[in-house]
Structure 1
Amino acid sequence: MDFSQLQSISDICLLVQDLDRSVVFYTEKLGFTVTRRTEGFAAFNSRSVSLVVWQTNHVPDEPRAPSLTPALREEHKACLSVKLPSAAEVDALYAGLSERGIPFTRPPADYPWGARCCYFTDPDHYMWEIYSDIPAG
């Protein structure tokens, strides 16, 4: 059986430089709830996939972890996407998160691939996308 068919993805783990800074961002700015926290590690409650942040110098059996540096804004390595039911909900969430100080790159816009999207980054420059499919045409 192919790896992709074994199970659904259960966790997204982000390697971060400063665990405390990330916990503050994900709880106070985005509203996640911490479900488990140990030295160098925090897991957050999410609807379908667990979101985990690991401080780079606490990743087990990873000799390169302490030397990892955060990606520059121009060098995103991943984009985490959250799909909403409608374009209006994208706009509303954008407005609410902007009021909380989330650093969006620009307001929501309609893109040629059939989605209304907006993007922001977390303290370690991981890119997040909020989007909704929009009718073609």
Structure 2
Amino acid sequence: MDTTDLKLKQCFLAVDDHDKALYFYVEVLGLEIRNDVSYAGMRWLTVGSPLQPDVEVVLEPPGASPDISEADRDALARLLAKGLLRGVIFTTENCDALHARVREAGVEVLQEPMDQPYGVRDCAFRDPAGNLLRFMERSA
């Protein structure tokens, strides 16, 4: 089987408030809206970088699957509120400038920009829902 044609299309982040998430990802980070559709009582919201037109971040409620139990959905919502669900890592050409912009928006800072021994400068924040977001700049 030839797998050279595989590419990432979507990744998923749980959010508890689509409007807060939309503001953060579009107005603060500068991503663009790809889809914002209501369907069957749900909201399909995707954002992405203009530099990566084929990759989308889906912002969905915790436990959005129709097959999940109410107890599991509640457990995921509690984990999200504690900031215990995984996040994503973005690359940037200027970690310090991005850090300043995100910090000015009042987002929770987890790590100030710092040089890492594995060849990147990075920083970390929590989005408004509590997801971990890291921003890394490759060292010269």
| Structure 1 and Structure 2 fold alike (TM over 0.5) | yes
Aligned residue in 2 for 1:104: 109
Aligned residue in 1 for 2:23: 24
Q: What one-letter code is carried by the residue in structure 2 that aligns with 1:66?
A: R
Q: Does 1:43 align with 2:29?
A: no
- Which of 120-129 and 14-23 deviates more? 14-23
Whole-angstrom CA distance in 1 between matches of 2:9 and 2:82: 27
Whole-angstrom CA distance in 1 between matches of 2:57 and 2:44: 11
Whole-angstrom CA distance in 2 between matches of 1:84 and 1:51: 16
Whole-angstrom CA distance in 1 between matches of 2:121 and 2:18: 32
| Runs of 4+ with >4 A deviation | none
Q: What one-letter code is carried by the residue in structure 1 that aligns with 2:101?
A: G
More strand by share: 2
Q: Is the 8 A contact 1:19 1:41 kept in 2?
A: no
Where in structure 1 are there 5+ consecutive unaligned residues?
none
Where in structure 2 are there 5+ consecutive unaligned residues?
none
Q: Is the 8 A contact 1:29 1:102 kept in 2?
A: no
- Taking structure 1 as the reference length, the TM-score comes to 0.76
Q: What is the CA-CA distance between 1:118 and the residue it aligns to?
A: 0.4
Q: CA RMSD in A?
A: 2.4
Q: How many residues align?
A: 128
Q: What one-letter code is carried by the residue in structure 2 that aligns with 1:32?
A: L
Q: What one-letter code is carried by the residue in structure 2 that aligns with 1:72?
A: K
Tell me, what secondary structure is at the counterpart of 2:103? helix
Q: What is the CA-CA distance between 1:15 and the residue it aligns to?
A: 2.0
Identity over aligned pairs, percent: 24
